[in-house]
Amino acid sequence: MSQPSGGRGDEAVKEATSREADGGAPGGGTKLNGRMRFIAVILTFGGLLFGYDTGVVNGALPSMTADFQMSQQYEGFITSALQFGAIFGAVFGGRISDRYGRHRTMVVVAILFTLGSLGSVLSPAWWVLSGFRVILGLAVGGASVTIPVYLAELAPSHLRGRMVSQNEFMVVFGQFLAFAFNAGITGVMDAEHANTWRWMLSVCLVPAIVLWAGLTVVPESPRWLARGGRIDAMLKVLREIREQAYSSREGDEVKRLAQRDEKASQGTLAELFSVRWMRRILYIGVGMAIINQISGINVVQYYGVSILTDAGFEGNAAFVVNLLIGLAGVVGVGIALGIISRVRRRTMLTVGLCATIVTLGLLASTAVFMPDENPMKKWIILGSIVVFVGFMQCCIGTMTWLFMSEIYPLKVRGVAMGISTGVQWTMNFLVALLFPMLSAALGLGATIGLFVALQVLALIWVRLKVPETKGKSLEEIEDSFKEAEPATS
């Protein structure tokens, strides 16, 4: 899946990009020093857990179903429980980190990851497991909005983009690892053995503990400290995390950005809805969050093994070929990071939506019209899923969150991103909950056909409503909305 990003963290990345054109930040090289690399690794374990916890259920469901004697509707409850918790973790996580600090928030996230993972492994019933996956969801939602901001505020300004992108990569890499461990464990144990799923879920205890322990040596965000007027503490952190002596200009820059954050936090929900041009931006942002989910990407991420098993891949084969799906996501994000600075936003979205329409259409028609005894059926289904995931993660997943990070005005960015992130996780929750029921009632082909229709509507909407933002500063983007529709109530 594609992850949500923090509003102010993305703003920092955008500002850093513009400063790079002027020669970069003061005192900075072109690489992260050892201290910052270590900090980035520790914090992005949260992204790794985000990816692993959302992807591991993909292969764990057959064993859970056998263990708890569940029907398909209960599969939806267990799968969507994490997304339900993530709605609240994402909506409130940003506000909690603004009030109590990035570091304290991440410590709580690490604790929730550990407790949720341990409780899930030991769950005696499906409803207990669902409860602990809600706890994991709180951690995932909190991590999704806190880590990008934390990384962006710790990094030298000219290297912020690289650090934040590392977390994006770790999310899809975590999903790939979940698929890999699922395949390895089922190679040793039967996929439908009663305790196989417990071993799959137990793996994420390791990175959760690493994250918790590693946070003991990760400092607080200097930008958050400056917001609270703790200038001496800010300067101490800057001295600790910079291999070269930082300049007074860098300290002044941190304080300036902190003041802008303080100003940004003054925007209200009432103001967002009362000003017409702001409402237009919010509708576009919410539309992007919906497009991110109605692609059907999380159907594949959560139920891929079940789909492949029904297609004809027997036993451990479904888990092995499922690795190709995880690898496609990793490659897709990698390609996006390489071309994102050179390709227009709307072009990437358009290409991505056209590709997902074609690949999902092929998947749906194959499932409906090709007879099961045809040996090519399962391979066409697998191939269409792999290509779909690659294009979706490259062109849609990355672009939707980039658009949202760019279009919101500074003054209401916090509250607007909170709304968009909440919508994203709500749609994620609904997709995870309803897919097993729809598939059981309509069949796989017809259910996938619904996503094809939604993708066509999304493509039309993008071409009609979404503006191009590449090459524009945040201020220029804001001014373009004001000029197109004057600020009236």
The DSSP code sequence of 373-395 is T-TTHHHHHHHHHHHHHHHIIII
Residue 338 near residue 400 (C-beta atoms within 8 A):
no
DSSP helix, strand, coil percent of the chain (3-state; round to 5): 80, 0, 20
- Comparison of pLDDT for 271 and 170, the residue scoring more: 170
Return the pLDDT at 370.
92
Residue 103 near residue 220 (C-beta atoms within 8 A):
yes
pLDDT digits (tens, 9 = 90+) for 225-266: 887 778 788 788 887 776 554 555 556 666 665 666 665 555
Positive/negative CA dihedral, 52, 55, 59, 60:
positive
Instruction: Look at residue 350 and tell me whether its pLDDT is greater than 60.
Output: yes
Amino acid at 488: T
Over range 149-158, report the average pLDDT: 74
Instruction: Look at residue 351 and tell me whether its pLDDT is greater than 90.
Output: yes
pLDDT digits (tens, 9 = 90+) for 395-428: 898 888 777 767 777 566 667 777 887 888 899 8
**Average pLDDT of the chain to the nearest whole number:** 81
Q: pTM for this one?
A: 0.76
Residue 232 near residue 248 (C-beta atoms within 8 A):
no
The CATH superfamily holding the domain 7-218+266-484 is MFS general substrate transporter like domains (1.20.1250.20)
**Nearest-angstrom CA–CA distance, 276 and 290:** 21
